[in-house]
Amino acid sequence: MAQSDWKPATLAAQAAGAVDPQSGAVVPPIQPSTTFARDRDYELVNPDNTYLRYHNDAVRVAEKVLCGLERAADSLVFPSGMAAIAAVMRTVPNGGRVLLQSGIYWGTTKWVRAFCARREIVLEEVEASDTGALRAACEAGPVSLVFVETPSNPWLRTVDIAAAADLAHAAGAALVVDSTAATPILSHPLALGADIVMHSATKAINGHTDVLGGVLSCRTPGALWDEIRDDRDGAGAVMGPFEAWLLVRGMRTLPLRVERMCQTAQALAEYLDDHPGVAAVLYPGLPSHPGHDLAARQMTGGFGYLLSVLVKGGREDALRVAGRLNLFHRATSLGGVESLVEHRHTIEPHTGIPENLLRLSIGIEDAGDLRADLGQALGQ
């Protein structure tokens, strides 16, 4: 069976066939050397390696796994999700026009606003889960880049990727999709027409809350992709060997973890939706969610591990529930094996996040234990 036929679980578990031919180890080694020798004739001992900023075996293994899972033409790993986003944004020419989905991961919005202001790039924030609003923005003039995030964090809004790709392309733009909340297991934005898919590998891809990382994958290599690769290697936004090795180890269980996280998230979303202490649950797996049908088409095998809960009452009620939780850690971030709760309004009080919103990242603990913890925190 050719490796290209391997299913995601096989590809991930076997790290895309990575073994150490020298020792026979079934786990690839960590190679920390920053430089690689030449022989007496000044030929490279290994023609693939000269200097660690350009050539890192552990990063190559991680990229091979991610490229296979994403069904991409190529993948590039970065030292954080934001470094990956910055690498894409740096391709926009001065004076260009960027359409950014509104109400997405606050770190993206904040950095892109500052970057565009500095580079005199026209930035328009658009509610891209409304295809009509995105169409109007795309038809208003030429666009360099359209950036969407689906499902979005923390609103869990869903964007029609195929429609967004058509609109972006008609406006002369590339479509970039931040698919962090969907993972490469549940959604394949490139197959729907996106040009580049981005993930914060810090989240479910690594999944163990111990590595910062990011990844970009492309549908078709070309000038844009070459520019991103050259900029990464030249400007040095590269991941180190230890982090890349940990990332590869974490990814071996990615399909298993995502499957369990989705099952538990779905069950908890349904439980919370019926709970008298809850005003609303934002989760695309609920039939009442406005993006449910779209998410069902765009995501296969589950609706993700992220959900937001509007607690009945106000800020104090939400903080009281968060404070009573025993299993959920009160911490930012998402996608790890341990469940987390976050009161986003405390972090971004000025962005319109409701004061009674708690974002939950569902881990791989026992679903009954998590449900009991939520039940006691909400007061049954």
**Residue positions annotated with a catalytic role:** 53, 105, 178, 203
Residue 105 vs 305, nearer CB to ligand PLP: 105
Please tell me whether residue 259 adopts helix, strand or coil conformation.
Answer: helix
| Per-residue x/- track, 189-208, ligand PLP (CB under 6 A) | -----------x-xx-----
Q: How far is the CB of 103 from ligand PLP (least distance, A)?
A: 12
Instruction: Select the span of 22-30, 175-183, 293-301, 349-357 touching ligand PLP (CB under 6 A).
Output: 175-183
CB within 8 Å of 54: residues ≥ 6 apart = 233
Q: How far is the CB of 48 from ligand PLP (least distance, A)?
A: 28
Residue 206 vs 356, nearer CB to ligand PLP: 206
Dihedral sign (CA 25, 28, 30, 35): positive
Pair 328, 340: CB distance under 8 Å:
yes
Residue 28 vs 79, nearer CB to ligand PLP: 79
Site for ligand PLP in 217-236 (CB under 6 A): none
d(CA 195, CA 166): 11
Q: How far is the CB of 153 from ligand PLP (least distance, A)?
A: 4
Residue 16 vs 87, nearer CB to ligand PLP: 87
Closest CA to 246 of 90, 24, 15, 83: 15
Task: Tell whether residue 158 is a contact of ligand PLP (CB under 6 A).
Answer: no
Closest CA to 181 of 195, 198, 194: 198
Site for ligand PLP in 322-351 (CB under 6 A): 334
Site for ligand PLP in 75-134 (CB under 6 A): 80-82, 105, 107-108
Q: How far is the CB of 150 from ligand PLP (least distance, A)?
A: 10
Q: What is the DSSP secondary-structure string of 86-154?
A: HHHHTTSPTT-EEEEESSS-HHHHHHHHHHHHHHT-EEEEE-TTSHHHHHHHHHTS--SEEEEESS-TT
Q: How far is the CB of 365 from ligand PLP (least distance, A)?
A: 20
Query: How many Cβ atoms sit within 10 Å of the Cβ of residue 220?
Result: 11
CA dihedral 21, 23, 25, 27 (to 10 degrees): -70
Q: Where is 248: in which H helix or E strand? A: helix 241-251
Residues in contact with ligand PLP by CB under 6 A are 80-82, 105, 107-108, 149, 153, 178, 180-181, 200, 202-203, 212, 214, 334
